[in-house]
Amino acid sequence: CARMFTVYFPFRSQIGINVTQIRLPKQCTEDQVIEELLKLNDDQRVHGVYLHLPPAFLTSRVLNTLKPEKDVEGISDVNVGRLIRGDFSRGFVPPVANAVLDMLVKDDGPVEGKNVLLVGGKRPLQLILQCLIEKSGMATLRSNRNRNHLQRQNVVRSCSRWLQDQHYRPWRLHPLKLQPLTPVPSDLEISRAQVAKPVDQLATEIGLLPEELESYGRNKAKVRLSLLDRLHSQPDGKYVLVAGITPTPLGEGKSTVTVGLVQALSAHLKLNSFACLRQPSQGPTFGVKGGAAGGGYAQVIPMEEFNLHLTGDIHAITAANNLVAAAIDARILHEATQSDKALFKRLVPSVNGVRKFSPIQISRLRRLGINKTDPESLTSQEISNFVRLDLDPKKITWQRVVDTNDRFLRKITIGQASTEKGQIRETGFDIAVASEIMAILALADSLEDMKNRLARMVVGTSHSGLPVTAEDLGVSGALAVLMKDAIKPTLMQTLEGTPVFVHAGPFANIAHGNSSVLADKLALKLVGRDGFVVTEAGFGADIGMEKFFNIKCRASGLRPNVVVLVATVRALKMHGGGPHVSRHGSANLSLVAGGCQSNLKKQIQIAQQFGVPVVVALNVFKTDTQAEIDLVCQIARECGAFDALPCNHWAQGGRGSVALAQAVKQAASKPSNFQFLYHSEMPIVEKIRTIAQRVYGADDIDLSLEAQTKIDYYNQQGYGSLPICMAKTHLSLSHMPDKKGAPTGFVLPIRDVRASVGAGFIYPLVGTMSTMPGLPTRPCFYDIDLDPATEEITGLF
């Protein structure tokens, strides 16, 4: 059998050494050895590991899994490199090498000048011995080959290796074993019980190069966009969208289904697959809904890191958004208190007696029709036009943001200090993920595209009715700097060691509700022609899926192969006339059938309008009966679904979604006849009416006078060809949250229409939509705590 010895050093008055022998089965695999080493790496009680393994197991992969500081045998690549470089302070000298040196030193006569013949191949021990012997002043037998010839050989090898690295690398994914327990523990307990692979190991397994990775600790890393250039000729994999029926307030588990599906595809069907998920907002995490890492045995791990801060993208968005807000109010103050001449002198300061426009100021001059680059050549009128944005405080559309549910920031008054010289106005805060910058992050397809979109953001209107942009404020370049790292997707993994991209997180009811275009594009290249990328759309198919097709697919140029429509028995009972919020319930086939024939049927029909096959995934709860499960799957197929299957990933992991994965694979092999719901050149009003009638089931729309006035203005400004992003409740197909099933006979009220010009869409407001959630009476944070001794978090879900 293979053996490993672990060494513990208990801190007592007299230091002792505890040695534990770990025996592995004779027929164990390399993956089992690595799994054991990962556990020992993370065990703080273990200070050293000695590998007593057969030579076949001493592979580079095994040796380099072991942490260098615990490699007491000193044979990992890092330790060998340190010793050869002469860094003896951190590396370990192998015991055999030490013994040989001791023998040579103790031998009679001086050490210097001795000749030592090394017999054997250049394995780590021989390399270390040669290095140590030569550093002691002794000579070893060396090759007499011409040095220049060796250099030329190495240059050729280096170039060959570089060229080989640029090609697509087949995956060598090693899934993590999952041993589900009954009853199912909490999400946090499950997450902690699994030892995640180091993210750099995961990156290597899926074909990423070291230079394409920016690690943020052990468990997550940013992936550089240069990957798209390297794999530009690589065919894309299959593109799968996970959407859902109209949910209960508790959510129906789309993220869990997404994770369970990729675990089934990769870990069980051995197909390359990637999940692309949105980054969760801190608002719901500490509010009422909790985190968004999935749940049960279908999670992204570590779930604490996933749900809290991640790699700081939302913080970057908050900083960028609020920089724009600060720039707006500062500009209004300075224009109100200074003359044209004084403004010009400060905006274009003299440096060493010379005034010079910055590039962003030259861009503003061009938009004003002033083709001059010498500040001294501007006329008085040109100076006035250049320095005065003339923002109308009543028509500023930009708000500050914070990533917390804080209802008392919905409307605030700013500028009350005497230093602001009477520039008082009403404004408010949105939650950070409602910022247009978040939508831009999710829709940009390159750093340059993001920079251009940030520049186009309209923050308000001048007194003369002209739009004022972030570029007019001179702040768009700084925004790009703040967002330069946020544009890179974050790589994590599922409980079964399959890859996940986490990137962007726009809300689906007030924005387009999808993860980023870039995450999808990177993943589609990485999985290869026969692989699968599974991405998620927020809330019901009428909201997140419709926006995915009409907004995201227009921006990305990508076309989906399959829609997975998530349903639950509890939600179907609600749509069949049952209670609106119910975690448990008794069997009721009548309510289930009613929900299937109304909401489920309608959502299947919505997907079919886009020409994409639909597979219904019934997310099974332990309270569901077999009769209810069978009925849902039967009716779903009768309503036109390609297939419908129960999923048990929450309790079983990927194994519980193998049937779903097989159905998705089969559906993806069929030809897709994708089409948009409307043409982009259709008038704004007709695009809104098309969505209301064909998706929501409304008879017509009712435009308020304010909404019609805005539409006329947007047409005048050239925004008429932008797609539509309806801001509507997610709790009903209609604008009325209490109307469940598939309501008919209603007119959809459009009270206002706004534009996110940088993101690239028009968003009508249906009824009253809040962009800042509030906290409930008992928020989730009551249960969240930290153990100071272990630094472990409790209460997250």
Would you name the residues annotated as active-site residues? 254, 256, 278, 289, 508, 539, 621, 650
User: Which residue is associated with the tokens 């309501």?
Assistant: 743
Cis upstream peptide for 776 (omega within 30°): no
- Of 259, 247, 278, the C-alpha closest to 512 is 278
Beta strands at 747-756 and 700-703: parallel, antiparallel or unpaired: parallel
For 686-725, give the DSSP string.
Answer: HHHHHHIIIII--SEEEE-HHHHHHHHHHHHTT-TTS-B-
d(CA 680, CA 22): 65
Phi and psi dihedrals of 623, rounded to 5? Answer: -85, -5
d(CA 736, CA 729): 7
Instruction: Determine contact, residues 372/378, Cβ cutoff 8 Å.
Output: yes
Instruction: Determine contact, residues 432/285, Cβ cutoff 8 Å.
Output: no
User: Which residue is associated with the tokens 């946090």?
Assistant: 188
Residue 460 in tokens: 């308000």
Which residues lie closer than 8 Å to 452 by C-beta, 6 or more apart? none
d(CA 287, CA 780): 5
d(CA 647, CA 157): 50
Alpha-carbon distances of 549 from 144, 524, 625, 721, 745, rounded to whole Å = 66, 17, 35, 16, 26
State which H helix or E strand residue 393 sits in: strand 391-396
Beta strands at 294-295 and 298-301: parallel, antiparallel or unpaired: antiparallel
Instruction: Determine contact, residues 33/62, Cβ cutoff 8 Å.
Output: yes
* DSSP-based three-state secondary structure for 74: coil
- 491 exposure class (CB count in 10 Å sphere: 0-12, 13-18, 19+): buried
Residue 678 in tokens: 């409307």
Instruction: Determine contact, residues 407/774, Cβ cutoff 8 Å.
Output: yes
Phi and psi dihedrals of 172, rounded to 5? Answer: -130, 55
Instruction: Determine contact, residues 614/641, Cβ cutoff 8 Å.
Output: yes
For 217-246, give the DSSP string.
Answer: SSS-EEE-THHHHHTTTSPP-EEEEEEESS
Angle at 662 between CA 659 and CA 668, to 5 degrees: 140
d(CA 729, CA 760): 21
Cis upstream peptide for 54 (omega within 30°): no
